[in-house]
Structure 1
Amino acid sequence: MYGAEYHQKIIMAAAQIIVDEGLSHLSLRAVAARAGVSTTVIYSLVGKRDDLLRAVSIEARNSFVRAQREVEVSEDAVADLKELGRAYYGWALGNPALYGVMFGGHFKSQEADREPIEPLATAVQRLQIQGKLKAPDSWQVVWALWAAVHGAALLGITDCQFGDQGQELEKFEVLLEGIVRGLVKT
């Protein structure tokens, strides 16, 4: 009766409430009002509040993983690192509510979920095999790249920009080039 369009509206409305107001303000009634649907539709498509929380968390994670996996693996692992960084940054700026849910500390997992970071880790491991890493530990490089892009994405989402407005992508490219140059032998 209700399709994927309604489901997505509900998930995005819930994500936005979580980011804007916090988990304590998330109710089915608030989500229904923001999504323009009835609570009956939410119960029908998603279930109770706990089911909704789980669905939002899963959507945020899966959306991010899809964006990372859409980066095609090439012969050039350095180019792949940069493309993965661009995909991360683009996803974050295009999905600020999902980014906020995924990285805002709203949901704690009992075990580390490595799937979101696997494409980056794989590209870094390729560089390690080729002897192109400046650091001896590939996970240090993964962490440094992840942290740099994560920080840039957070600054981009929160409009905490310095210098000329509207040049966020150019600023990001400078960061990306610098961090890769600092970690990878050319």
Structure 2
Amino acid sequence: MPDRDVRPVRVRLLEAAARLLADEGPRALTTRRLASEVGASTMVVYHHFGGMPELVRAVIVEGFARLAEHMAAVPRTADPVADLGRLALAYRANARANPHLYAVMFGGVPLDGQAPPAEEPVAGRAASGAGTFGVETFAAETFGVLVEAAARAMDAGRLRRDDPEHVSAQLWSAVHGFVMLELAGQFTGGAETVLTSMLVNLGVGLGDAPDAAARSLRAALDTPAP
């Protein structure tokens, strides 16, 4: 007999909703279907989320919350370029661990009529029953970790001076593109080589010395992803 899922019902609802959206599309996400997926009543769905738009918003918030946890677990070291590499690896690890949430949070799933409501004012903003902030807050916090590491790499003379936010956007775009292709099964082999080469080339393109970039990435790879 399989082990009983003892996680909070709210977490199981969020993961089931993400799976339905990613695998079957928004038409599959009904209150009755979702309740059936977790073995609960339809009233449980309304109790936790109020309605489908709020549920979809909570799915996106949960996805960013898990990404934020992965990236926050990356240690800050004396090598900021290695830290950037570790952040990229943590980003990938989160996506591989939570592929359905990842697909929903970054718009990989057309939501049609299930679009989440507009962002609430920052004051008092919270996700339903989660005690966490909204989508934009988590996205900004996650991006902020990357910006801080990029700024430290510039201060250390490893990357040429530029707007840290612009540099971070370039790094995020490259890693996100790799992850999306990997999750879609586009790499039949050699994904690790593609990723490591891409990260070294990015570092060199942003001003780092080739040997230094390669050393920092090796150091990043020697640290298990959170």
Q: Name the amino acid aligned to 2:65.
A: N
- Could you say which residue in structure 1 is the equivalent of 2:124? none
2:56 is equivalent to residue 91 of structure 1: no
How far apart in 1 are the matches of 2:36 and 2:181?
Answer: 30
Partner of 1:28: 31
Counterpart position of 2:194 = 171
- State the 1:179 CA deviation: 1.6
Equivalent residues of 2:19, 2:100 under 8 A apart: yes
Contact 1:135-1:183 at 8 Å conserved across structures:
no
The answer to which structure, 1 or 2, has the higher relative contact order (CA under 8 A, 6+ apart) is 2
Q: Distance in 2 between matches of 1:183 and 1:28?
A: 48
118-127 or 14-23, which deviates more: 14-23
The alignment partner of 2:8 has SS state of helix
Q: How does 1:1-20 map to 2 (within 5 A)?
A: 4-20=7-23
The yes-or-no answer on 1:51 pairing with 2:54 is yes
Which one has the bigger helix percentage?
1
Partner of 2:176: 150
Name the SS for the 1:114 alignment partner. helix
Alpha-carbon distance, 1:153 to partner: 0.6
Do residues 185 (structure 1) and 188 (structure 2) align? no
Give the 3-state SS of the residue equivalent to 2:16 in structure 1. helix
Map 1:54-69 → 2, pairs under 5 A: 54-69=57-72
Gapped regions of structure 1 (runs ≥ 5): none
- Kindly state the Cα deviation for residue 177 of structure 1 after the two structures are TM-superposed: 2.2
1:126 is aligned with what amino acid? R
| 1:124 counterpart residue number | 150
Identify unmatched segments of 5+ residues in structure 2.
1-5, 120-134, 210-226
TM-fit CA distance, 1:135: 5.8
Deviations, residues 73-95 of structure 1 (Å, cap 9, x unaligned): 11110110000000001111111
- Are the counterparts in 2 of residues 135 and 141 from structure 1 also a CA contact under 8 Å? no
Note the 1:103-142 alignment, pairs <5 A. Answer: 103-104=106-107, 106=111, 113-134=139-160, 136-142=162-168
More displaced 10-residue stretch of structure 1: 33-42 or 11-20: 33-42
1:103–1:78: structure 2 CA closer, same or farther, 3 Å change rule?
A: same
**Distance apart, 1:178 and its partner CA:** 2.1
TM-score of the superposed pair, with normalisation by structure 2: 0.71
Alignment check: 8 A CA contact 1:152 1:172 kept: yes
Q: Is the contact between residue 154 and residue 161 of structure 2 (CA under 8 Å) also seen in structure 1?
A: no
Considering only aligned residues, what root-mean-square deviation do their CA atoms show, in Å?
2.4
How many pairs were matched up?
Answer: 181
